[in-house]
Amino acid sequence: MKASPPKPWSVSLEVVLGNQRHLQNSRASAGVMGTRAATGGYDPSGIDLEAWESLEAQLEATIPNYDRVNKWMTFRQDKRWRRNVRNHAAQGMKVLEVGCGPGSFAEDLVGLDVTCLDPSPEMLATAKQRVDGAREKRGEAPAEYVEAIAEEIPLPDNTYDMVFCLFSFRDFRDKEQGLREIFRVLKPGGRLVMCDAGKANRIHGFFGYLWMNTGVQVMARILTRERNHPWKGLAKSYTHYGTNGYYRKMMKRVGFESVDGRLLLPFGMASRFRGTKPVSSQQPR
């Protein structure tokens, strides 16, 4: 058997320094990216730095109640959606989850070589405890954990058979750049499978907006027993999220083939996107 190649990207200092460089570059280009003042820093293509940093803090604040609120705000469909995405992977595949959060999805990736990536050290710490605990019970090796942003993934080209994004794509600072990085780290013939908020069109999105800004807010307040719960701020990321068609076009622009994106039933509250990196492909510039 071949010896495993060294994994310099698992050195946390290197990852942290890479993130610092990205944030410094982002601040330097604020004049280019900071054109979303009227919407609080959001539009379908991405999120301005200040708004993104605030969003990340809100996401970290969800950790204690993450699964409980998600369960009820999705009418108990969250596990079904995760299973739908998870079933795309075959035994033995090398997979990456971008935006793993607290590990709700990755803990059930059975028989796979798993890498979890997230920009939040708090999320990664929770995920590591949860995912490795589940893997140890199954007699599997621990997963790999990488602290990084989707727009600068510190991993080698052509590495993964499959990349997953579960309700994290909506929070990318620069969605097209994040997709380009995912495309880069996928092996030729590898697939991206994403699940995120459902928005077939603007009319469908309006009803999603009503739910996120009313029903979810009431539910989160009851379940967390906090008046200023973090789901208040997270509704904004849905409000300015694009339609399925918008992101299908973006995936094709990046270079993905066999792209599809459809609502997941019942309720149509989530959408699943799929795309394949061509077998003979070069990273588009």
pLDDT tens across the length of the chain (285 residues): 444 443 333 433 334 334 444 444 444 334 334 467 777 889 999 999 999 999 899 889 898 888 888 888 887 888 888 999 999 999 999 999 999 999 999 999 999 999 999 999 999 999 999 999 999 999 999 999 999 999 999 999 999 999 999 999 999 999 999 999 999 999 999 999 999 988 888 888 888 888 888 888 888 888 888 888 888 777 788 888 999 999 999 999 999 999 999 998 766 788 999 999 999 876 554
Q: Which of 130, 74, 76, 139 is nearest to 105 (CA)?
A: 130
Cα–chain-centroid distance for residue 195?
8
The pTM assigned to this predicted structure is 0.84
Assigned CATH topology for domain 40-276 = Rossmann fold (3.40.50)
